[in-house]
Structure 1
Amino acid sequence: MDKAYKLLSLQEKISHKKAKSLIDDGRISVNGKKITIARAELAKNSIFDIAPITKPQIIFEDENILAINKPPFVESYALAKMFAPWVLLHRLDKETSGVILLVIENSPFHIQAKMAFKKQAVYKEYQAITDGIIAEACEINKPILTFKGTHAKSKISKDGLNATTLIKPLKIIGKKTLLEIIIKTGRTHQIRVHLQSIGHPIVGDSLYGGSNAKRLMLHAHKIALLGYEFIAKASDDFL
């Protein structure tokens, strides 16, 4: 037995620092199970898989807006650097894939778009694979409180901000459910916390109790605002 980052370092012939970074980024798995703790003790013959980072794809671009299909394991801020001078209109969690929008900073459209988000006039539809069987559509209305330190984490709390999530089962996959999810608010980790709160965390969500997987099974499928609508198909590893 030895620490995961040391074994990964040997396998890939990389530094301990780089190995720890890959594990912290959620890109390392053994036998289909994601490794989340760099110092976890593993068998010395463990074979590591490294999830590749695919290239972000442009869905649409005009003078107002740039729509990107963000791959998992890419920070939203890193994405913005790739497409400067465009800036983020909103963000997605690092492991979440799907549609993300960028705009020209302080342009008239940027101001209008920020107001649309503030007024909850933006349609946001996701897909997720959750643990357990969800047989019926429902609406989750539970306030969310977020703690922001080195890493943000949220929880259901009466002291939190109002949050509304609509879920509808699309397909039962063994003992898991593929969901369509529409959020009316945009709290930090809203979908992840709400699904955890009803006993059906997202597969691959190590922060909120989901079963182990190579990635967080959450995808931003569609977004619409100010006359625009964009759809991003989930990658093959999602379904």
Structure 2
Amino acid sequence: MEKAYKLLAKQQGISNKKAKEIIDRGLVFVGDKKVKIARAELADDTRFRVEDVADVKILYEDDNIVAINKPAQVDSYDIQDAIDGAELLHRLDRDTSGVLLLGRNREFIDDAINEFKNRRVKKEYVAWVEGVIYEEIEIDAPILTIKKGKAFSKIDDTKGKKAYTKVKPLEIQGKKSKVSIEIKTGRTHQIRVHLAHIGHPIVGDEQYGSRTQTKRILLHSAKMAIFNYAFEAAEPKDILRYK
């Protein structure tokens, strides 16, 4: 028996540190099961499969803004570090793909952040969720975020901050539904928490109640509009059609 990251490092010819990193990013599988714990003890003959990560694509850029189509399993801050002179205007969870915006100059960045704070940025997502959704649902439930260790959010009518989400059905496949989601607020894990709150967690979101194992949480930032800019990121294959 050996720790998963050490076995992976030997098989891939990489450092232990790099092996831990790609396990933590959710890119390593044994058969169809994701390896979730880098220090898990596994048999010496365990064979791993490492998923490729799609390239980061620039949707648009000028002197004020850079719009990125972020692949899943890529950290928003890694993208910021890779683009000289750009600063994140918001962030997407590592598993979330789609439109990500960065600013290029201080004046624009400050103005844009103010737009986010004042809920004037239009944000539309697409997701696959557990269960069947037949009609539009509006969710107005305050969210409290606990940031000790791994961030976790929950509905809290007393201490939570206002959060509003609108969900519209797009497609149904078996006991899964594809939905479009509009949010006016931007609380940590807002979409994930609100969908779990109504009994329809996002497929693959085990932290908030999904029992379906997938390569990632099936959530995509499809469209975003700020000032006179509007951006759209094409749906990746896992969002376009469920299995």
> What residue in structure 2 maps to residue 181 of structure 1?
181
User: Following TM superposition, by how much is the alpha carbon of 1:43 offset from its aligned partner in structure 2, in angstroms?
Assistant: 5.7
> What residue in structure 1 maps to residue 69 of structure 2?
69
Contact 1:202 1:216 in 2 (8 A): yes
Kindly provide the amino acid, as one letter, of the partner of residue 221 in structure 1. Answer: A
Structure 2 runs not aligned, ≥5 long: none
Q: Secondary structure at the match of 2:236?
A: coil
CA offset digits 1:61-89 (Å, max 9, x no partner): 12221111011111111101111101111
Contact 2:99 2:223 in 1 (8 A): yes
State the alpha-carbon separation in 2 of the partners of residues 207 and 84 from structure 1.
34
State the alpha-carbon separation in 2 of the partners of residues 44 and 234 from structure 1.
39
State the alpha-carbon separation in 1 of the partners of residues 6 and 171 from structure 2.
40
Contact 2:73 2:95 in 1 (8 A): yes
Moved more, 182-191 or 143-152: 143-152
Q: Kindly tell me: are residues 209 and 40 of structure 1, through their superposed partners in 2, closer, same or farther at Cα, counting changes over 3 Å? A: farther
State the alpha-carbon separation in 1 of the partners of residues 220 and 156 from structure 2.
26
Are 2:131 and 1:132 aligned? yes
Moved more, 223-232 or 170-179: 170-179
State the alpha-carbon separation in 1 of the partners of residues 34 and 138 from structure 2.
31
> What residue in structure 2 maps to residue 13 of structure 1?
13
User: What is the count of residue pairs matched by the alignment?
Assistant: 238
Kindly provide the amino acid, as one letter, of the partner of residue 226 in structure 1. Answer: F
User: Following TM superposition, by how much is the alpha carbon of 1:235 offset from its aligned partner in structure 2, in angstroms?
Assistant: 1.6
CA offset digits 1:36-82 (Å, max 9, x no partner): 22244556554422222222111111222111101111111110111
State the alpha-carbon separation in 1 of the partners of residues 8 and 36 from structure 2.
13
Q: Quote the RMSD (CA, aligned, Å).
A: 1.9
> What residue in structure 2 maps to residue 59 of structure 1?
59
Moved more, 171-180 or 201-210: 201-210
> What residue in structure 1 maps to residue 218 of structure 2?
217
State the alpha-carbon separation in 1 of the partners of residues 116 and 64 from structure 2.
16
Counting aligned pairs with the same residue, the percent is: 50
Contact 1:99 1:220 in 2 (8 A): yes
Contact 1:131 1:202 in 2 (8 A): yes
Contact 1:26 1:35 in 2 (8 A): yes
CA offset digits 1:16-39 (Å, max 9, x no partner): 433222221111223333222224
State the alpha-carbon separation in 2 of the partners of residues 11 and 131 from structure 1.
36
Structure 1 runs not aligned, ≥5 long: none
State the alpha-carbon separation in 2 of the partners of residues 106 and 140 from structure 1.
35
CA offset digits 1:143-197 (Å, max 9, x no partner): 1111113321111112110111111111112221111010110000100111111
CA offset digits 1:203-233 (Å, max 9, x no partner): 2223222221011111100001111110001
State the alpha-carbon separation in 2 of the partners of residues 197 and 42 from structure 1.
36
CA offset digits 1:90-134 (Å, max 9, x no partner): 111111110011112422x32322221111111100011112222
Kindly provide the amino acid, as one letter, of the partner of residue 172 in structure 1. Answer: I
